[in-house]
């Protein structure tokens, strides 16, 4: 999912703890592979929604469209926090 992908690129050491909490099982990551993921830049779904809104690509218009679209991505699996959504709404 998006959260796992983001953690691989931005903070893979946090992924081990997250996976152990979710799986209730001891997980050990191969740390030598971490550097492979640090070479990539990932675009998050909330960022795509923001750009689509600013470019007028979204089919729906109105003052609450951006907010609704950002929360829709969050509740469908985006890794964005409520604080990050609030920042995007103010841009």
Residues 13 and 32 in one domain: yes
Number of domains, the chain: 2
Residues 30 and 52 in one domain: no
Residues 83 and 50 in one domain: yes
Residues 50 and 29 in one domain: no
DSSP-assigned letter for residue 11:
-
The model's pLDDT over 18-52, given as tens digits with 9 standing for 90+, comes to: 889 989 999 888 888 888 888 888 888 999 999 99
Residues 62 and 79 in one domain: yes
Residue-range definition of the domain harbouring residue 16? 2-38
DSSP class per residue in 23-71: HTS-----GGGHHHHHT--PPPHHHHHHHHHHTT-SS--STTHHHHHHH
Residues 58 and 84 in one domain: yes
The model's pLDDT over 58-82, given as tens digits with 9 standing for 90+, comes to: 988 888 999 999 999 999 988 889 9
Residues 25 and 54 in one domain: no
Residues 34 and 6 in one domain: yes
Tokens of 7: 């953690």
Place of tokens 């109105």: 62
Tell me the C-alpha distance between 87 and 54, whole Å.
Answer: 15
Query: What does the angle CA 26 – CA 6 – CA 3 come to, to the nearest 5 degrees?
Result: 65
Mean pLDDT of all residues belonging to the chain: 89
This prediction has a pTM of 0.73
Residues 15 and 50 in one domain: no
């Amino acid at each position: 999912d998006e959260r796992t992908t983001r953690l691989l690129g931005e903070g893979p050491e946090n992924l081990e703890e997250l996976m152990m909490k979710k799986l209730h099982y001891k997980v050990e990551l191969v740390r030598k592979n971490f550097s492979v993921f640090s070479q990539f830049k990932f675009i998050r779904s909330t960022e795509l929604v923001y750009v689509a809104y600013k470019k007028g690509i979204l089919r729906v218009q109105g003052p609450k469209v951006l907010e609704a679209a950002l929360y829709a991505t969050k509740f469908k699996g985006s890794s964005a926090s409520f604080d990050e959504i609030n920042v995007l709404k103010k841009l």
